[in-house]
Amino acid sequence: MRMYTIALAGNPNTGKSTLFNTLTGLRQHTGNWAGKTVLTAAGEFVHHDVTYRVIDLPGTYSLYSNSADEEVARDYIIFEQPDVTVVVVDATSLERNLNLALQVLEMTNRVVLCVNLMDEAKRLGVHVDVTRIRQKLGVPTVAISARNRTGIDELLEQVEKVASGKIIPQPVTISYSAEIEQKIKELEPHILRLLGTRFPPRWIALRLLDGDEKLLASLKAHLDTVAAPGLKEVVPHEQISCH
């Protein structure tokens, strides 16, 4: 059976674990404070004869090395490269939530934006224009209520399309000042030469310009671990799987 990996990212308390439980039938802890996810939980479900592995990432406001949680979430998205990252945002606080959503869109285009807590938004009289968000951000956008299990079918449909490559989202490119854009342009060829297209060169350039040393350390550690066992394993692994 085909298997895809989807990661749930988002601010704290946006209902990622609730969605995780709804999807996998597992019982990851949820709730305001005591239910905060600190480690990534993994579960699985099957949809249209495809297995999906779901990773529940810790909730963060950002991915820029301010805390261990943020590093876990960032490293997962950039190094493990899930087939789809579902960014779960709180319909009642979109302004705050979209910061992280934009950060994820700079890292990968394989994103589905999931506007959760729609029941709460409705109760507060907040109207969310999902179509407009989709147009502005350039990624599939779905409104759900994870707790009431509404919108889940539509979410799965979009996840399936992005995972299978039927939809290739074209997220909006965030443009910076002329000075920064110039520096990105200078850095990108070097990054491509060193790292190839494994990581998004524009994002790496931005991290370098930001002086994000923790990212560099993570990157180096990651390259060391993938390079070392890989060298020994490549040949026998291929042979075993062929015969």
Partner 1 sequence: MASTTIPLSEAKTGMRLVLTGINVQGVLRRRLLDLGFVPGNVIEVLQKSPLGDPVAFRVNNTTIALRREESSQIFGNILGGE
Ligand X SMILES: Nc1nc2c(ncn2[C@@H]2O[C@H](COP(=O)(O)OP(=O)(O)OP(=O)(O)O)[C@@H](O)[C@H]2O)c(=O)[nH]1
The residue behind tokens 């407009």 is 132
Please state, in angstroms and rounded to a whole number, the distance separating the CA atoms of residues 230 and 30: 38
Tell me the two tokens of residue 227: 């390079």
Task: List the interface residues with partner 1, window 172-211 (CB under 8 A).
Answer: 210
Out of 64, 102, 134, 152, the residue judged to bind partner 1 by CB under 8 A: 64
Select from partner 1, ligand X, Mg ion, none the partner in contact with residue 175, using the beta carbon and a kind-dependent cut-off of 5 to 8 Å: none
Nearest distance from C-beta of residue 98 to Mg ion, angstroms:
19
DSSP assignment letter at 224: H
User: In the structure encoding, which two tokens stand for residue 104, read together?
Assistant: 């994820």
Crossing angle (nearest 10°) for helices 201-209 and 213-242:
150
Q: Report if residue 12 touches ligand X, rule: CB under 6 A.
A: yes
Q: How far apart are CA 27 and CA 6, in angstroms?
A: 18
Ramachandran angles phi, psi of 28, nearest 5°:
-70, 140
Quick one: which segment of 46-54, 139-147, 157-165, 186-194 binds ligand X (CB under 6 A)?
A: 139-147
Q: How far is the CB of 64 from partner 1 (least distance, A)?
A: 5
* Binds Mg ion by CB under 5 A, chosen from 17, 97, 141, 145: 17
Options 18, 24, 85, 108; binder of ligand X; rule CB under 6 A:
18
Per the CB < 8 A criterion, the answer to whether 23 and 44 are in contact is no
Touching partner 1, residues 89-148 (CB under 8 A): 92-93, 95-96, 99
Nearer to partner 1, 7 or 98 (CB): 98
CA distance 11 to 13: 6
In the block, which residue shows the tokens 């994103």?
111
Contacts with ligand X by CB under 6 A lie at: 10, 12-18, 30-32, 35-37, 58-59, 116-117, 119-120, 145-148
Contacts with partner 1 by CB under 8 A lie at: 61-62, 64-66, 92-93, 95-96, 99, 210
